[in-house]
Chains A and B, each alone.
Chain A
Amino acid sequence: MLELNGIKKRFGRIEVLHGVDLRVHAGEVHALLGENGAGKSTLMKILTGILQPSEGTIRIDGAERHFADYDEAIAAGVGIVFQEFSLIPYLDAVENMFLGRELRGRFGLLDRRAMRARAREIMRQLAVDVPLDVPVARLSVAEQQFVEIAKALSLNARILVLDEPTATLTPSEVEHLFAVMRELRRQDVAIIFISHHLEEIFEICDRITVLRDGQFVGSCAVSEVDNDRVVEMMVGRRIESSFPPKPGVDPAAPVVLEAEEVQLRRGGPVSRFELRSGEILGFAGLVGSGRTETVLALLGAYPAARCKVRMDGVEKRFSGPDEGLAHGIGLLPESRKDEGLITSFSILQNVSLNNYGKYRRNHWFIDLRKELDCTTAAMAAVRVKAQGPHARVDTLSGGNQQKVVIARWLNHDMRVLIFDEPTRGIDVGAKAEIYALMRAFTARGHSIITVSSELPEVIGLSDRVCVFRQGGIVATVEGADINSETIMTHATTGRVEHVA
Chain B
Amino acid sequence: MSHDTVTAPEEKGRGFSPASLLRSPLALPLIGLIVVSCLMGLASDNFFSLNNILNVLRQVSVVGVLAVGMTFVILTGGIDLSVGAVMALVGTLSAGMMVNIGLPAPLALVAGIALGLALGVVNGALVAWGRMPAIIVTLATMGMARGLGLIYSGGYPISGLPSWISWFGIGRIGVIPVPVIMMALIYAVAWVVLQRTAFGRHVYAIGGNETAARLSGVKTRRVQLAVYAISGLTASLAAVILTGRLMSGQPNAGVGFELDAIAAVVLGGTAIAGGRGLILGTLIGAVLLGILNNGLNLMGINPYLQDVIKGFIILLAIYIGRDWR
Look across to chain A and name the residue whose beta carbon is closest to the beta carbon of B218: A354
- For chain B, the bracket of interface size reads 20 to 34
Cβ A366 vs Cβ B196 within 8 A: yes
Interface residues of A in 322-373 (CB under 8 A from B): 322, 324-326, 330-331, 333, 338-345, 349, 352-354, 356, 360, 364-366, 368, 372
Question: B222 → chain A, closest Cβ, in Å?
Answer: 9
Q: Any chain A CB within 8 A of the CB of B276? A: yes
Look across to chain A and name the residue whose beta carbon is closest to the beta carbon of B209: A342
Look across to chain B and name the residue whose beta carbon is closest to the beta carbon of A409: B216
Give the dominant DSSP class at B's interface: loop
Question: A339 → chain B, closest Cβ, in Å?
Answer: 5
Cα A5 to Cα B217 with chains together (Å)? 47
Look across to chain A and name the residue whose beta carbon is closest to the beta carbon of B11: A388
B209-226 interface bits toward A, Cβ cutoff 8 Å, 1 = contact, 0 = none: 101111111110000000
Cβ B13 vs Cβ A339 within 8 A: no
Cβ A353 vs Cβ B3 within 8 A: no
Cα A244 to Cα B313 with chains together (Å)? 63
Cβ A343 vs Cβ B216 within 8 A: no
Q: Any chain A CB within 8 A of the CB of B8? A: yes
What total count of A-B pairs have CB within 8 Å?
112
Q: Any chain A CB within 8 A of the CB of B197? A: yes
A interface residues, how many (CB within 8 angstroms): 49
Cβ B10 vs Cβ A387 within 8 A: yes
Instruction: Report chain B residues within 8 Å CB of A343.
Output: 208-209
Residue from the list A35, A236, A408 in contact with B216, Cβ < 8 A: A408
Instruction: Report chain B residues within 8 Å CB of A212.
Output: 2
Cα A397 to Cα B266 with chains together (Å)? 31
Q: Any chain A CB within 8 A of the CB of B205? A: yes
Instruction: Report chain B residues within 8 Å CB of A364.
Output: 197
Instruction: Report chain A residues within 8 Å CB of B215.
Output: 301, 321, 331, 333, 339-340
Cα A320 to Cα B221 with chains together (Å)? 11
Q: Any chain A CB within 8 A of the CB of B204? A: yes
Q: Any chain A CB within 8 A of the CB of B198? A: yes
Instruction: Report chain B residues within 8 Å CB of A237.
Output: 2
Residue from the list A320, A333, A360, A383 in contact with B3, Cβ < 8 A: A383
Look across to chain A and name the residue whose beta carbon is closest to the beta carbon of B195: A366
Interface residues of B in 1-44 (CB under 8 A from A): 2-10, 12-13
Cβ B218 vs Cβ A353 within 8 A: yes
Question: A240 → chain B, closest Cβ, in Å?
Answer: 15
A360-404 interface bits toward B, Cβ cutoff 8 Å, 1 = contact, 0 = none: 100011101000100010011001111111110000000000000
Cβ B7 vs Cβ A380 within 8 A: yes
Cβ A321 vs Cβ B9 within 8 A: no
Q: Any chain A CB within 8 A of the CB of B131? A: no
Most buried by B among A339, A360, A383: A339
Look across to chain B and name the residue whose beta carbon is closest to the beta carbon of A391: B10
Instruction: Report chain B residues within 8 Å CB of A353.
Output: 201-202, 205, 213, 216, 218
Most buried by B among A322, A326, A341, A356: A322
Residue from the list B4, B13, B202, B276 in contact with A390, Cβ < 8 A: B13
Cα A243 to Cα B201 with chains together (Å)? 37
Q: List 25 A-B contacts (CB under 8 A).
A: A212-B2, A320-B214, A321-B215, A321-B216, A322-B218, A330-B217, A331-B216, A333-B215, A338-B209, A338-B212, A339-B211, A345-B208, A352-B201, A353-B216, A354-B216, A360-B198, A364-B197, A365-B197, A366-B196, A380-B5, A387-B6, A388-B6, A389-B9, A390-B10, A390-B13
Contact residues of A with B, CB < 8 Å?
Answer: 35, 212-213, 235-237, 301, 320-322, 324-326, 330-331, 333, 338-345, 349, 352-354, 356, 360, 364-366, 368, 372, 376, 379-380, 383-391, 408, 429
Contact residues of B with A, CB < 8 Å?
Answer: 2-10, 12-13, 192, 196-198, 201-202, 204-205, 208-209, 211-219, 275-276
